Structure 1
Amino acid sequence: MSDVAGFKAWSFLITGDERQFQGNDGYEDVAEESYSYDSTVGNYRRVKPGDLVVVRNSYEALGVGYIEELETVPDQEKLRSRCPACRSTNFKERTTEKPRFRCSQCGTKFGQPKEELIRVTTFRAHYGGSWQPLEGCLDKNQLAEISLSRSDQQSIKAMDLERTLIAIAACGVRLPPQQGPAKPRRQHPLELPGGRRRTTTAARLGQDAFRRALVHQYGMICAATGPSPAETLEAAHIRPFARTERHRVEEGVLLRADIHRLFDSGLLTFSTDFKVCIAPSLFGHPTYMALQGNRMHLPERAVLDRDAVKEHHSLTTSTW
């Protein structure tokens, strides 16, 4: 089912090296806020406010949200490039060979494309108010399974709405209620705070890659509390990194920031049968006490190292 209650689902290919514009100059996108395109892009007429969009690059899904506003600016001038032989816009730049370009349509190699000015309508879809990061929870192959298009380079691809929502929910991602067309609620600034600070702390090499690997393995799910916003989830080492200085997915879990603090402080651990154990000193805190004895939130494909879990449990509970 690709259409539920009049709404549709799309995947948007972001700008940059991954987005092949061929004869176009490209667009300026702020991935977590908005997406720009024009009337030369396939499916441009079909995208509407209220539709679900998955923003992707060539490898994975970056995030998801509902379109809250669709800006339209008609009669804009745009420079477009074509193959000088067949006038196709389907050509690519070659970085190591000469001539610089090769036409995918007719095979002609050339140094400079033929340029022309055309009139287009430009669009900018805003979805920042409902944006939820995916950070690679769905990879290219998983996206292909819920796509209604076979093209890898199509900038705007139709998705199966029902299957997309199911896939997102399975990753632990929780979208706010769909409001349909509404006033924009842009939550993300276009300019982030800057400045510098001096620090002498040692950085953990590979920590970002470790978190990404855990997100791909478990989705946006805290092992102790369940589905959580991406911004609250941290990569936790069951065997302390300070001792091993290595990142093993089998020895890692995603934990909400406060749970991670308790885990590293010896106030929370997991039993060998994968249940949450809370230190007696926390029994006066109902929020954490309610987790006592709950089963860990792990998928069937979990690769958690039982020996590491047993070791952490034994060392942690010995101090209670």
Structure 2
Amino acid sequence: MTTAWLVLAVGDERQHGGNDGYDDDPSQHYSWDSTVPNHADLKVGDVIALWDKKQLLGLGVISEIETGSEVKTLYFCPVCKKADFKRRKRLKPTCLCNKCGAKFEEPGSKTKKVTTYRSRHGEKWMDGRGLLTGPQVRDLADSPRSQLSMRPARWEKLRDALLAIEGTDFEDLDKSERQPGKDTVRKPIPGGHRMANVKTRQGQPAFRKQLLKDHGQVCAFTGPAPAAALQAAHLYSFADASEHHDWGGLLLRNDIHSLFDRGQIAVNPDSGVIEVDDELLGYPAYAGLHGNAPLVSLRPEHEVWLAAHWRSHRGKQ
């Protein structure tokens, strides 16, 4: 079962234990240290969803966790010696202790050697700004009333909440144009928000759940895969039909699904084997599929839909 983590990323305002904050870049990396509860529980392969208390910022899959150590300055209330206080922007005295209620201008301080962590998740990142509100994100945590900055959650619950809004299977996680290893400067892309009417796919989570029940965690063309990497692929145009037909779908790995929708991967109804577009034959992962039979048992209904898909994309070749 894939683990998901809801983590707070509020820039310079993110503090724990009265420290000086963290240098987060939500779409690329997230930093924390051993003073934070759950600090050692995040693992490579976990889903990390970042939010800023007001809304979801986005989510990615952790590809690497860098660890190190440093001597850190920690601050505390001079009255009760607890680190649970906040610096106020407009009121004086500047600091207010959440434990004893004391107000003070300068906190006490001490140094401590800590283990540092930084997740790398930019390779599989999907922007999620505006998709879920802060309260909606909070409700997805295993303990919604928790005040921790790093909270465990069930990936299935987060996934279904987003699928109900977007009607997608997170294809945006694969659409990265970053170039690892190159320190380049890019022209900023204009941002912001606009109001839009979004058409959602009703019944998509149930459709995927049924496919997982029918076939297990298996991509029909490439074989066993983690559930988080599998998408419910319609064998016909859902945009045109707007129905989830019985036996009208298969589980496909994210990248395979995208190429299948484009017709670059298809099943020849005459031979019953997978055929790969010439453009893909230069990639061993896809060339290896060419001429193979699907790896799940197909019903007659599947074969009818796959034949229609073939004719739609290959019939004019």
Which TM bucket (shorter chain)?
Answer: 0.5 to 0.7
Q: 2:169 matched to 1:174? A: yes
Question: Which residue identity is paired with 1:47?
Answer: L
What are the superposed Cα offsets for residues 159-203 of structure 1, whole Å, 9 maximum, x if unpaired? 122111111222324336999xxxxx87697764249xxxxxxx9
**8 Å contact kept, 2:125–2:172:** no
Separation of aligned partners in 2, 1:94 and 1:177: 38
Q: How many residues align?
A: 204
SS at match of 2:240: coil
Separation of aligned partners in 2, 1:84 and 1:72: 32
Separation of aligned partners in 2, 1:63 and 1:188: 23
Residue 32 (structure 1) aligns with: 27
Question: Which residue identity is paired with 2:198?
Answer: Y
Separation of aligned partners in 1, 2:12 and 2:23: 13
Q: 1:110 aligns with which of 93, 104, 109?
A: 104
Residue 120 (structure 2) aligns with: 126
Residue 47 (structure 2) aligns with: 52
Residue 241 (structure 1) aligns with: none
Q: 2:240 matched to 1:294? A: yes
TM-score in terms of structure 2 length: 0.56
Query: By how many angstroms is 1:146 displaced?
Result: 1.5
Map 1:267-306 → 2, pairs under 5 A: 294=240
Q: 1:72 aligns with which of 45, 67, 76?
A: 67
SS at match of 1:171: helix
Question: Which residue identity is paired with 1:94?
Answer: R
Question: Which residue identity is paired with 2:60?
Answer: G
What are the superposed Cα offsets for residues 293-315 of structure 1, whole Å, 9 maximum, x if unpaired? 93789xxxxxxxxxxxxxxxxxx
SS at match of 2:7: strand
What are the superposed Cα offsets for residues 114-163 of structure 1, whole Å, 9 maximum, x if unpaired? 01100100000111111011111011122122111234642111112211
Residue 85 (structure 1) aligns with: 79
Separation of aligned partners in 2, 1:20 and 1:113: 14
Residue 144 (structure 2) aligns with: 150
Separation of aligned partners in 2, 1:154 and 1:34: 19
**8 Å contact kept, 1:146–1:160:** yes
Separation of aligned partners in 1, 2:84 and 2:135: 24
RMSD (CA atoms): 3.5
**8 Å contact kept, 1:19–1:57:** no
Q: 1:159 aligns with which of 146, 153, 157?
A: 153
In structure 2, the gaps of 5 or more residues are: 205-235, 244-317
Q: 1:43 aligns with which of 33, 38, 41?
A: 38
**8 Å contact kept, 1:60–1:139:** yes
Question: Which residue identity is paired with 2:148?
Answer: Q
Distance change >3 Å, CA 98–CA 191, structure 1 → 2:
farther
Separation of aligned partners in 1, 2:149 and 2:183: 23
Q: 1:193 aligns with which of 183, 186, 191?
A: 186
Query: By how many angstroms is 1:98 displaced?
Result: 1.9
Bigger RCO (CA 8 Å, 6+ sep): 1
TM-score in terms of structure 1 length: 0.56
Query: By how many angstroms is 1:95 displaced?
Result: 2.5
Map 1:247-286 → 2, pairs under 5 A: none
Distance change >3 Å, CA 125–CA 192, structure 1 → 2:
same
Distance change >3 Å, CA 58–CA 188, structure 1 → 2:
farther
Map 1:219-234 → 2, pairs under 5 A: none
Distance change >3 Å, CA 158–CA 188, structure 1 → 2:
farther
Separation of aligned partners in 2, 1:58 and 1:121: 26
Question: Which residue identity is paired with 1:126?
Answer: R
SS at match of 1:55: strand
